[in-house]
């Protein structure tokens, strides 16, 4: 997935690093110090619909050309996460216990057009 540049209108991944210090949560989240809060944004014109959003194969390039030349776009397509990974957190709960847990699907790694 291309990372969004200011002028990128097409579907891309917008990266934001959140430092837990900025949230004032360093007193209870022990590890890590922050995490990537990425999200997907951008347009999905018809010929990009259904594209995986990563290096497409020759087949999907041809498929996209066929769709682009199809005068009747099949409904709208949205820019959505296509790959996510868990985030491992070490934190203190309200009783002072240390809890280590993996929160699934926390970090968006790739975006694509639905």
Partner 1 sequence: QGAESVCPSCGGPTLEPQAERALVLELAKQQILEGLQLTSRPRITHPPPQAALTRALRRLQQGSVAPENGEEVISFATITDSSTSTCSSMLTFHLPTPRSYHLYHARLWLHVLPTLPGTLSLRIFRWGPRRKRRGSRVLLAEHQMTTPGWHALTLPSSGLRAEEPGVLKLRLDCRPLEGNSTAARQPRWLLDTTGEQRPFLELKTRPNEPGAGRARRR
> CB 19 → partner 1: shortest distance, Å?
10
76 interacts with partner 1 by CB under 8 A: no
Cβ-contact 40, 111 below 8 angstroms: yes
Q: What are the structure tokens assigned to 78, written together?
A: 């949205």
Three-class SS of residue 68?
helix
Of residues 37, 56, 83, 110, which one binds partner 1 by CB under 8 A?
37
The phi, psi pair for 56, rounded to 5°, reads -80, 150
Residues that bind partner 1 (CB under 8 A): 4, 6, 8-10, 16, 18, 22-23, 25, 27-30, 35, 37, 39, 41-43, 79, 87-104, 106
């Amino acid at each position: 997935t291309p990372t969004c540049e200011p002028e990128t209108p097409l579907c891309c991944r917008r990266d934001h690093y959140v430092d837990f210090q900025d949230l004032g949560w360093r007193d209870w989240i022990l590890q890590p110090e922050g995490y990537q809060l990425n999200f997907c944004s951008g347009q999905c014109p018809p010929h990009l619909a259904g594209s995986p959003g990563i290096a497409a194969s020759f087949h999907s390039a041809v498929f996209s050309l066929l769709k682009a030349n199809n005068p009747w776009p099949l409904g709208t397509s949205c820019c959505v996460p296509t790959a996510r990974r868990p985030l491992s957190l070490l934190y203190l709960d309200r009783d002072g216990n240390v809890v280590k847990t993996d929160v699934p699907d926390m970090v968006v790694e790739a975006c694509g057009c639905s």
